[in-house]
Structure 1
Amino acid sequence: MDCCCKSGKTSEIKIEGDVSADPIWCKNCGCNLDLDESPVSAELKDKLSRWALTYGKWIDWNKGSLLANGLELEKEFNQAGLLLTEEVKHELKDQYNVTYSPSSSSRYYL
């Protein structure tokens, strides 16, 4: 996949949620990669996209604080992300080294 590394390509990707970003990143340079250009199935792209849209649902953005059940919501988000990462690993086999970077954004709102 194309990235911002000196070589322009990466063999190491991480799955990570963030605000208004595709959930796939170069593990080396940190470049946000285009999910549409990733070599995973359309079904998995859709799952990843829907999951990414739930990032930050544990935060009351207007108040800058966690929701009452925010820690549990973030934990559920991370569990879903871990399962999706396993699906990505399965589909990509040995093409890429795939890791998951869990959200820890709740710590900023405690």
Structure 2
Amino acid sequence: MRCFCEQKETFDLKMEADVGADPIWCVECGCNLDLEETPLSNELKKELIDWASMYGKWIDWDLDKIISNGIQMEEEHNRQGVILTEQTKQELGGKYRITFSPSTMGRSYNTL
């Protein structure tokens, strides 16, 4: 997949959700890869987009605090991320090394 590395292509990927970003990243240069350019099924791309769009729903951004059931929401988000990472590995075959980076942001906030 195309990235900003010197060789312009990466085979070392990280699955990580972030606000306003696609969930696949180059491990080497940190480039956020365009999900539309990945050789994944449209169904899996949609699942990844839906999953990534839920990132941070456990935070009340106005109060800068985690909501009351936020830790459980974040844990479920991470569980789903592991499943989607495995599905991505299956679809891409052995060509890419893919690791999952779970969210730990909920632990850094106070609970409402």
TM-score (norm 2): 0.96
Deviation, structure 1 residue 96: 0.5
Give the AA of the match of 1:27.
V
In the aligned structure 1, how far is the partner of 2:31 from the partner of 2:108?
23
1:70-109 equivalence runs, <5 A: 70-109=70-109
Instruction: Say whether 1:22 aligns with 2:22.
Output: yes
In the aligned structure 1, how far is the partner of 2:28 from the partner of 2:77?
24
- What does the per-residue CA deviation read over 1:63-95, in whole Å, with 9 as the maximum and x for residues that have no partner? 000000110000000000000000000111111
**Identical positions, percent:** 51
Deviation, structure 1 residue 108: 2.0
Q: RMSD across aligned C-alpha pairs, in angstroms?
A: 0.7
Q: Which runs of 5+ in 2 are unaligned?
A: none
Give the AA of the match of 1:102.
P
Give the AA of the match of 1:85.
T
Runs of 4+ in 1 over 3 A off after TM superposition: none
Q: Secondary structure at the match of 1:44?
A: helix
Deviation, structure 1 residue 54: 0.2
1:27-38 equivalence runs, <5 A: 27-38=27-38
In the aligned structure 2, how far is the partner of 1:22 from the partner of 1:45?
10
- Find the counterpart in structure 1 of residue 68 from structure 2: 68
